[in-house]
Amino acid sequence: MDFPLINKSWKKGMNTFDIIFPNKKFGGSYNLGVLIIYNLINNFPNWICNRIFLDEGKITSKILGFTFQYELDYHNFFKLLEKNNIPKNKNEREQIILAGGPYVNANQKALQDYIDLFVLGDSEEIMPQLLKAYEERKDKQSFLKSVSKIEGVFVPGITKEVKYACVEDLDKLPYPLYQPLPEKISKEYVFGKAFILEVERGCPFRCKFCPMPLRRKVKHRSLENIKKIIVEGIKINKRKKVVIYTPSFAHPQRKEILKYLLSKNLEFSVPSIRMEIVDKELMNLIKKGGQKTLTIAPECNEELRFKIGKSIRDKAYFNFVELAKEIGFPKIKAYFMIGIPEQTDKDIKEMIILIKELKKRFNNLYISINPFVPKPKTELEKHEFNIKTLKNQAKLLKKELYKEKINFKLSSIKSAYKEWELSHKS
Segment 307-329 shows an average pLDDT of: 97
The C-alpha atoms of residue 89 and residue 307 are separated, in whole angstroms, by 44
Claim to verify: residue 13 and residue 114 sit in the same structural domain: yes
pTM above threshold 0.85? yes
Query: The domain spanning residue 319 has which CATH number?
Result: 3.80.30.20
358 lies in a domain? yes
User: What does DSSP assign to residue 122?
Assistant: -
For the chain, what is the domain count?
A: 2
320 lies in a domain? yes
Paired strand residues for 161: none
Tell me what the pLDDT averaged over the chain comes to.
95
Give the pairing type, strands 15-21 and 47-53. Answer: parallel
Claim to verify: residue 144 and residue 195 sit in the same structural domain: no
Claim to verify: residue 126 and residue 215 sit in the same structural domain: no
Segment 95-109 shows an average pLDDT of: 94
Task: Please provide the distance, in angstroms rounded to a whole number, between the alpha carbons at the two ends of the chain.
Answer: 41
Claim to verify: residue 90 and residue 205 sit in the same structural domain: no
Residue 315's contacts (CB-CB under 8 Å, 6 or more residues apart) are: none
Claim to verify: residue 139 and residue 278 sit in the same structural domain: no
Phi and psi, residue 52, nearest 5°: -125, 140
Claim to verify: residue 150 and residue 199 sit in the same structural domain: no
Q: Which amino acid is at 314?
A: D
Claim to verify: residue 109 and residue 236 sit in the same structural domain: no
Residue 5 pLDDT exceeds 70: yes
Claim to verify: residue 143 and residue 189 sit in the same structural domain: no
> How big is the chain, counted in residues?
426
164 lies in a domain? no
pLDDT of residue 237: 98
Residue 413 pLDDT exceeds 50: yes
pLDDT tens string 201-237: 988 888 999 876 445 689 999 999 999 999 999 999 9
- Which residue range forms the structural domain that includes residue 272? 170-423
